[in-house]
Structures are given as structure tokens and as C-alpha cells.
Chain A
Amino acid sequence: MSTPTGRKKKDVKPEPGEGLTRRTALKLGAAAGAVTVLTSRKGFSLPMLYDSVPPEPTVCSPQPAHSPGTTPFVQALPIPPIARPRKFSPVPTQSANIAAGEAPRADHQRWSEFLPQDLYEFTLTPALHTFHPDMAPTYVWTYNGIYPGPTIIGQYGIPSLVRFHNNLPVDHTGFGSNTHTTHLHNGHTASESDGFAGDFWGPGFFKDHHYPNIYAGYDTFPGGGDPREAMRTFWYHDHRHSFTATNNYRGLNGMFLLYDNVDTGFETGGDHNALHLPGQYGLYDIPLNFTDKKFCADGQMFATAPDAVPAGDKFIVNGAIQPFFQVARRKYRFRMLNSGPARIWTFTMSDGRPFTLIATDGNLLEHPVNVPSLELHVSSRYDVVLDFSGNQIGDSVYLMNIASQFVNNAPEPLPDPNVDVTKAVMRFDVVSNAQDQSVVPDTLIQYPDLNLNEVVTTRIWNFDLIGGQFKVNGLIFDPDRADATVKQGTAETWIIRNKLPASGWTHPVHIHLEEGRILSRNGAPPPSEESGRRDVYPIRPGEEVHIFLRFREWFGKYMIHCHNLGHEDNFMLVRWDVGTQTSLVTSPVDSLGNPNPLAQPNPNPPVLSDLFTRKGALA
């Protein structure tokens, strides 16, 4: 019989009853070269490989008032290495390979149609990570031994699959859960590979997620899908129900990029569709994964029960506290991600230059927008272009966070008297000249028509706090209960309301499966930076946002939820399903089948005969 991870017995000796030991798995991971290490380029982070997995540390308690001081801008921005596809056994199968140790899941939908070509193997494992040279390495949880996890770079039209091995400690104590599920945010992915919050699984098992890498609307657009539906900047992260904040804080996230013949990743070549944006991952196309954490006096990342994650006081980019990044006098594309847990970043540049915003939540805008500041909510992504050609060699420019949440703790003396180091997230140092063949055209893409005639119904989602419980439309999240069913091939208008006008909480509401277009915010058209396709919709207290959504290609269970990780861990989620009928009422009954008094009747419910005549309804 094959071992739980399906590896050959001569390689692995699982301990009776416990599957893989941590030690053997890591050895294997290292030997198998699961991560491509790009050592040739300065700034690429090297995974630390261990003879054994580090033990869980004793972490200080209670929470320290502040982290130890660290000198800003003394370490280079790390660039997560590119994950390399490889073959492994047992070969992935359409049905879950329970005997070999795969976690339960539904059969992959449309498996033979999108047979995966690129296979990746990710192991969730504890590791040590150095956030700053002034601090000792600290215990973190990682994908493949590094934080942030390796970046997967794929291509539209080339289906891929990631096998996630859970090698988190069986004897785990304290903060976080050793059970896990990974969501690819926001893949146009079948339900069984979407990382549904309730479908978590524990150490010793693996699970295959199938990423077909097709454009949304593939079935209705001849010739392999519509590139105008492309999302390009994704991230993957733990989505374990009630432990998403803690598991992400511990380090379980990374980035995932898709290119195509429009956004090729290169500044020259390609066909007549190629945009030639600043390109080449790690050179001029740079991921920036922002988070904040708190550290004990001994440098250990503060992570202990009580379960809520602490408000961090260290600005961290790609796993480094306040790094610098050496740039040439030319254009760069930065893919900014807020990986949480809760902070809302408000970015400006210290010299007042605007950001040229080219994509929101990974979707190219129709036209670039210059904005003086950017409010980046949890799980949202902004692709921006910054041009350093007007700078002189020797110049430095800072990325600032001007939001007033939580003050960073930095030592005296301040390295630059003109810059408030408590607000400086990272520093760009202009150090060289370089050729620049990239262009940022006035028109990046033209969106598909937003045809409101396709809308078969309107649905209301009231995000609320009632009696100390987060509820949506009056109900508690239950992974076993769908509060709405949408009909595959139709479009709907969704109205999202933040029903807590006095709370001060902005809920960054995330919808899985499909990107939407904001029709209105509080009755007004959205501002230009919100005119693009999105998957995260920040809803401020008392606000109401109307969104146009289509539901295509896949069936099964998905979620709409607040992406403030603490809120989603407190059950601020909803399960909705893609099926063959449109439900007329949203959240009609509770989990026991009783009528829900706060259910939302659809304001313009579908007329059944209409379903068969409206355009797109039968797609």
C-alpha cells in the first residue's frame, strides 16, 4: 500500500498511525527541490532548509506592548522564488485518492477537458524566518519552507494543479490550527478546488486543487474564452474556518500570477495584442505582499492564545520589515497585496508622485488612472506602475502608509529627518540606469458589455452584528447551509450593505468565483479607481454597494464574506451555491429549516417564464 503522501516506501517511513514524520517530509521536500531557488539575482530569498522541522517555540505572554526596535531600510526586499512544476506520484486523479492519503473532496469538474499540464507540490510546514537582521529567526508556518510562499506563475490556457501536503505539527499547541484549506483568490475555479472554509483537513494528508486557468465566460466565448475576462494577480492563502486569521498570520500565504498574450510578462515580442507593460517577474514586475505583525523581545513572532491576531506594529513587505528596493531609472510594475490580518493601508509616495493604477484586484483597468493615494483593503490587490526615470542615481523615495492605525516602533535616530519613519513602509533607492521598452498605453483593455438585461434577479446581503454575533441577512454562517442558489449561466445584481453605521468597521467583502463590476456606491457611480473589475468590495459603515455578477462554468458551493480575517473567523461568511435554479429568496430558512424573519426577498425576483427568454439565461 502506498504511504499517506503516496511516495515510495523506500523513501519515506511513515510512523505507525501518524503518517509522515515532519523530519522525513522536509528531507524529501529539500531533496525533491520543490522550490526553485533563484540565487543568481540579488534579493531573491533563499528557503532555509532544515535537517528537521523547528519545534514549536515558547512564545512570550501576555502580548508585549510593542515589538523590539529595528533599524529601517537595512535589508533588501525579498522576492519570493518562482514555484517550479514537477512530476510526482501518485498521479493526480479526478476522484479523491483517499487510499493514498488525499483528503475528501468532490470529483474534479471538467477534468478531462482541462487536464492539468503543470503540476506543483506544496508542503505546509513549520520553518524559521528572519523578518529583520536585528532579530533572531522566528518560528512561522509556510508553504514549502518559505514565507511568503513560492510564487506560482501560470499561463491562461494551460491548466495546472497544486498538491497541498499538510505537514503541520500533529502535536500543535496554541495559536492557529493544524488543519487547513487553501483558497486561490480569486481563481475561476471549480468549487472542490476553491478551498471552501468548511472543507479543512489535517496533518498527514494531501489534497489536489485543480486550476484550469480559463477565462471566466469560457463557455460563451468561442475560441477558448475572452481575454477581457482575465484576472492576473492572485494570491493563495489559508481559508480554514475560524482559524484563517491565525493561520495567515503564522505565514500561510503567497502569490499566483497568470499571463496571456495580452499581459505577457515581457516588454517586447508577442502578438499584436501584447501590451508590453513593465515585465519579467522579479526584475521589473515586483510582488509586494504587505502585512503587519508583532514580535516578542526575543524576536519570536508574537502568536499565542487568546486566539485573535494581534495588531502588528511592524510593517512587513514580502516577509521583511521595512526593506529597501534598489531600482533603475525606468518604469516598474508593482503588484500590491494586503494579506491582512486587519490593517487598511493608505499608501502615498514621499515625494508626492501619484501611483499609476493599472489593475484592481488583478484585473486591468480599461484606462490607467493616476491617484495620489491608494487605500488597500485586506486581500485586495492593486497593480501600479511607478516611473523612476525622472530621478537621479542616488535618490531615495519612500512608500508611506498615512493611515493612522497602530504606530510603528522605530529607533532613534531617524535615518532621514524629512521622512517620518513610523509611516515609511519601504524605500526605493535609485541606483542605476536601465533600458526601458515597456509602455503603459492609454487603453489597457476593453471590458465585455455590462448588459443589465442579463440580470435575472437582485439579491441583498446585509452584513450585521446582532447580539454580539456577526450575521448576514440575520443568519449565522453554517458550511452545511446555502443561503442562496444562483443559476449557472445567469447574471445577478447583488446589493451589499454594512448595517453597522456606528461601528467604524469597513468590511472588505469578498465574493468567490467571479469578478464583479460596481454599479453604484451609495447610489452614485463608482469613482474611477473602482470602475474596474473587482473581487473585494470595501463597504464602509452604513454604505450600500450594488454589484453586477455573472456565474459561469462551475457548479457547487462558494462564499461571500468579510475579508477582515478576524471578522471572517467570527463567522461573517455566507455559503451560496451555483446550481440549476435561481432561488427567489435569500437566506429563507435557518439551519433547522425554520423561516428566517430577516430573510431578504429578492427585490426583483425572476419570473420563471422570463428565465427562458432573457438573454443568457440558458447559457
Chain B
Amino acid sequence: MNRRDLLTCVLADKSRPGASMGPEFYTNAVLRTHENKPVRFYDDLIKGKLSLINFIYTGCMKSCPRSTGNLAKAQKLLGDRVGRDVFMYSITLKPEEDDPTTLRDYARGHGAGPGWLFLTGDEYDLTTIRFKLARWDHPMLDFDLDQHTGMVRIINDTLNQWTMCPTHATPKQIVDAVSWVEPTKPFAVRLRENYVAQAGIDRETKEAKARGAWRA
């Protein structure tokens, strides 16, 4: 299959968000999901979406199980948003070992819910995507696959905003990081949030005062 002949003609693509870096950055490489469906990386997975992307391999015994477990908890916290306005992708670092069936078993084993795809594909494409999304700019690290299992990249393509979070952070931290690339909420909503946050801070200050750990 001509993997890259599906590169979208940018000018013809009217549906692409204005701020997006588009397939010319992300590539439109064809990957295969754990449900054995072909998907185009930019058009089907990134375009106009808010996505969490991390790299794993099913044989990874060091950091991956905890990473995947944490992401599964984050998925539960995000609830029905996953698959609707938040999308999760775990891309294999070892496509030669991880075919769709292996990934399907891995996904089931970790309790991954709908809206979370496990992806494999051509090694060249996956390496290209990995360097686009998670480059250390450090040769020792960039060719050490185990150094690419630790961060989840979070991209809001509509705003072209990026951030990342270590996969060993708490599920709450991962969900917080998702909010960092979301559109700014209306002022009135954020003002209400400020009142709630202030009440929490005031409780902590009161406790600190009682301990003698705050001085007026």
C-alpha cells in the first residue's frame, strides 16, 4: 500500500482547524487499531480533536503497566467525554511484536474502555510520528525505546495547543493537564471556580493557623 499517497491536499481541506499544523506536520500515515481497522493519523485521529497520545509496547514490563493503569483510571475520571470530545491513543513502539490482536488483548487486560485506541503500523511511520510528538533532542534518549514510555502527549488540534504529563502522575494530574489545552472557560464560570478554590485555601489556612504554621 502506498502509505503516504493519502497525504491530504492542504488547500482542499476546508474542515481542518485554522490553527492546526495539519498532516504536513503529523503525517497521514495509515495505522491499524486494536480492532483491526485502518485509520489515517491526522484525518481520523488528530484533526479537530483533543487527544492523549502515549507510546507503549505490550512486552514492556518496567513502566508501561503502571502507565496504562494510570491512563485507564484517567479514562474513568474523564467518563463519557472519552470517545466524544477527548480521545486516547496508545501507539506501540514495537510494531513487529504488537499486531492488532496482541494489542486487543492488552487493551482488554487493562480495562481500556471505548474511545481509547491501541495502534500499530509500519515501523517507519510510527518512528516518524514518535519523533514528531515526543522527541528529546538527545541521541542517547531518542533511540532508547524505554525513554519513550513515560509521557502522555496531549494535543488540542483545534487550538493547536500542546502539553504533556508523565504517565506516572496521578490520574487527577492527567485530567488536569487535559484542561490546560481546552478553550478558556467563560469569565463567570471561572469566577465561580475561584470562590470554590478560595474556600478550600481558607480551610487549609485555618488548619495551618491551628498548627502554628501560619502567622498573621
- Interface of B (DSSP majority class): mixed
Q: Which of B146, B159, B177, B201 contacts A105 (CB under 8 A)? A: B201
Cβ of A170: which chain B residues have Cβ within 8 Å of it? 184
Q: Nearest chain A CB to B16's CB is how many angstroms away?
A: 13
- Minimum CB distance partner of A198 in chain B: B176
Interface contact B194-A98, CB-CB below 8 Å: yes
- Minimum CB distance partner of B168 in chain A: A476
Interface contact A106-B205, CB-CB below 8 Å: yes
Indicate with 1 or 0, residue by residue over B129-163, a CB within 8 angstroms of chain A CB atoms: 00011010110110000111111000100011111
Cβ of B124: which chain A residues have Cβ within 8 Å of it? none
Q: A62-B25, A469-B151, A504-B138 are in contact. Are A242 and B160 (CB under 8 A)?
A: no
Cβ of B201: which chain A residues have Cβ within 8 Å of it? 96, 104-106
Q: Does A130 contact B (CB under 8 A)?
A: no
- Minimum CB distance partner of B60 in chain A: A467
Q: Does A326 contact B (CB under 8 A)?
A: no
Count residues of chain A with CB under 8 A from any CB of chain B: 63
- Minimum CB distance partner of A177 in chain B: B180
Interface contact A570-B21, CB-CB below 8 Å: no
Interface contact A478-B212, CB-CB below 8 Å: no
Interface contact A98-B198, CB-CB below 8 Å: yes
Interface contact B163-A243, CB-CB below 8 Å: yes
The 3 closest A-B pairs by CB, nearest first: A468-B150, A467-B63, A469-B150
Cβ of B177: which chain A residues have Cβ within 8 Å of it? 242
Q: A62-B25, A173-B19, A469-B151 are in contact. Are A307 and B167 (CB under 8 A)?
A: no
Q: A106-B201, A242-B177, A467-B149 are in contact. Are A111 and B170 (CB under 8 A)?
A: no
B1-9, B96-104, B105-113, B185-193 - the one binding chain A: B185-193
Indicate with 1 or 0, residue by residue over B160-179, a CB within 8 angstroms of chain A CB atoms: 11111111111001000100
Would you list which residues of chain A between 104 and 139 have a CB under 8 Å from chain B? 104-107, 109-112
Q: Does A304 contact B (CB under 8 A)?
A: yes
Complex CA gap A471/B169 in Å reads 10
Q: Does A178 contact B (CB under 8 A)?
A: yes
Q: A111-B216, A243-B163, A502-B140 are in contact. Are A467 and B62 (CB under 8 A)?
A: yes
Q: Does B12 contact A (CB under 8 A)?
A: no
Q: Does B213 contact A (CB under 8 A)?
A: yes
Interface contact A468-B147, CB-CB below 8 Å: yes
Would you list which residues of chain A between 482 and 511 have a CB under 8 Å from chain B? 488, 502-505
Q: Nearest chain B CB to A124's CB is how many angstroms away?
A: 14
Q: Nearest chain A CB to B143's CB is how many angstroms away?
A: 12
Cβ of B155: which chain A residues have Cβ within 8 Å of it? 305
- Minimum CB distance partner of B159 in chain A: A173
Interface contact A465-B147, CB-CB below 8 Å: yes
Q: Which of B141, B160, B180, B191 contacts A305 (CB under 8 A)? A: B160
Cβ of A172: which chain B residues have Cβ within 8 Å of it? 159, 161, 184
29 chain-A/chain-B pairs, Cβ below 8 angstroms: A14-B187, A61-B25, A101-B191, A104-B198, A106-B205, A107-B205, A112-B216, A172-B184, A174-B159, A202-B190, A204-B187, A205-B190, A205-B194, A304-B21, A308-B137, A467-B149, A467-B150, A468-B146, A469-B167, A476-B166, A502-B140, A555-B213, A555-B215, A556-B208, A556-B214, A579-B211, A580-B212, A580-B213, A591-B169
Q: A204-B190, A502-B140 are in contact. Are A307 and B163 (CB under 8 A)?
A: yes
Q: A104-B198, A174-B160 are in contact. Are A555 and B208 (CB under 8 A)?
A: yes
Q: Nearest chain B CB to A265's CB is how many angstroms away?
A: 32
Complex CA gap A285/B132 in Å reads 45
Complex CA gap A202/B215 in Å reads 28
Q: Which of B170, B191, B208 contacts A592 (CB under 8 A)? A: B170
Q: Does B123 contact A (CB under 8 A)?
A: no
Interface contact B205-A467, CB-CB below 8 Å: no
Cβ of B19: which chain A residues have Cβ within 8 Å of it? 173-174
For chain B, give the interface size range: 35 or more
Interface contact B184-A110, CB-CB below 8 Å: no
Interface contact A106-B204, CB-CB below 8 Å: yes
Cβ of B150: which chain A residues have Cβ within 8 Å of it? 466-469
Cβ of A107: which chain B residues have Cβ within 8 Å of it? 205, 214, 216
Q: Does B11 contact A (CB under 8 A)?
A: no
- Interface contacts beyond A14-B187, A177-B180, A304-B21: sample of 17 additional A-B pairs, CB < 8 Å, sorted by A: A98-B198, A103-B194, A104-B198, A112-B216, A202-B190, A204-B190, A205-B190, A242-B164, A306-B135, A307-B163, A467-B149, A467-B150, A469-B167, A503-B138, A570-B151, A570-B164, A592-B170
Complex CA gap A112/B216 in Å reads 8
- Minimum CB distance partner of B157 in chain A: A305
Q: Nearest chain B CB to A204's CB is how many angstroms away?
A: 5
* Candidate in A109, A112, A502 with the most chain B CB atoms within 10 angstroms: A109
Interface contact B194-A104, CB-CB below 8 Å: yes
Q: Nearest chain B CB to A16's CB is how many angstroms away?
A: 8
Indicate with 1 or 0, residue by residue over A295-310, a CB within 8 angstroms of chain B CB atoms: 0000000001111100
Cβ of B62: which chain A residues have Cβ within 8 Å of it? 467
- Minimum CB distance partner of B169 in chain A: A476
Cβ of A19: which chain B residues have Cβ within 8 Å of it? 187
Complex CA gap A249/B137 in Å reads 18
Complex CA gap A101/B191 in Å reads 7
Q: Does A571 contact B (CB under 8 A)?
A: yes
Interface contact B162-A307, CB-CB below 8 Å: yes
- Minimum CB distance partner of B212 in chain A: A580
Cβ of B173: which chain A residues have Cβ within 8 Å of it? 476, 478, 591
Complex CA gap A578/B215 in Å reads 12
Complex CA gap A265/B204 in Å reads 42
Indicate with 1 or 0, residue by residue over A234-250, a CB within 8 angstroms of chain B CB atoms: 00000000110000000
Q: Does A203 contact B (CB under 8 A)?
A: yes
Q: Does A4 contact B (CB under 8 A)?
A: yes
Cβ of A109: which chain B residues have Cβ within 8 Å of it? 214-216
Cβ of B195: which chain A residues have Cβ within 8 Å of it? 98
Q: Does A527 contact B (CB under 8 A)?
A: no
Q: Which of B148, B180, B204 contacts A242 (CB under 8 A)? A: B180
Cβ of B138: which chain A residues have Cβ within 8 Å of it? 503-505
Q: A503-B138, A555-B215 are in contact. Are A306 and B187 (CB under 8 A)?
A: no
Would you list which residues of chain A between 324 and 358 have a CB under 8 Å from chain B? none
Complex CA gap A503/B194 in Å reads 42
Cβ of B135: which chain A residues have Cβ within 8 Å of it? 306
- Minimum CB distance partner of A168 in chain B: B184
Indicate with 1 or 0, residue by residue over A11-25, a CB within 8 angstroms of chain B CB atoms: 000100111000000
Q: Does A442 contact B (CB under 8 A)?
A: no
Complex CA gap A19/B135 in Å reads 38
Interface contact B166-A469, CB-CB below 8 Å: yes
- Minimum CB distance partner of B195 in chain A: A98
Interface contact A305-B21, CB-CB below 8 Å: yes
